């Protein structure tokens, strides 16, 4: 693995850091191939939980050791040549509930409280 900045350099982008937390760091990137989001994780478990939750929204992911790049399929495919990793495709479906522990980090999955 590398730091977010090291991965961004290998991908030839200047990262626009959006999240800088202990458990994950996330940046928007743009290259001649297109725009994508690059995320690094402190733990393998944190990465897997993030991917499991993100898969519910569909999309194409380039997954490496404690990092993920998310973008259009053509962008992710181009990045794979620079970063390695495996391409995964999320399944866009909502079947009334989320699987697993459903802990932390969800954005607008529920309307609990107001």
* Torsion angles phi and psi, residue 10, rounded to 5: -65, -30
Q: Are the beta carbons of 8 and 27 closer than 8 angstroms?
A: yes
Q: What pLDDT score was predicted for residue 59? A: 86
Please tell me the CATH code under which domain 4-89 is placed. Answer: 3.30.200
pTM of the predicted model, to two decimals? Answer: 0.76
| Segments of the chain scoring below 50 in pLDDT | 94-114
Dihedral, CA of residue 99, residue 104, residue 107 and residue 112, to nearest 10: 80
Ordered by start, the domain boundaries in the chain are 4-89
Tokens 């897997």 -> residue: 48
Neighbouring CB atoms inside 10 A of 110's CB total: 8
Sign of CA dihedral 55, 61, 65, 66: negative
pLDDT 10s digits, 72-105: 999 999 999 999 999 998 876 544 443 333 334 3
Q: Are the beta carbons of 34 and 70 closer than 8 angstroms?
A: no
User: By C-alpha distance, which of 4, 65, 69 is closest to 36?
Assistant: 69
For β-strands 60-64 and 86-89, DSSP reports them as antiparallel
């Amino acid at each position: 693995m590398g730091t977010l900045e090291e991965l961004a350099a290998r991908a030839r982008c200047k990262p626009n850091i959006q999240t800088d937390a202990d458990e994950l760091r996330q940046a928007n990137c743009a290259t001649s191939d297109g725009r994508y989001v690059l995320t690094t994780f402190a733990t393998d478990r944190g990465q897997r939980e993030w991917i499991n939750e993100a898969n519910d929204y569909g999309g194409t992911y380039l997954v490496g050791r404690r990092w993920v790049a998310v973008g259009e399929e053509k962008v992710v495919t181009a990045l794979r040549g620079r970063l390695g990793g495996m391409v995964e495709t999320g399944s866009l479906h909502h079947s009334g509930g989320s699987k697993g522990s459903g802990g932390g980090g969800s954005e607008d999955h529920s309307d609990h409280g107001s």
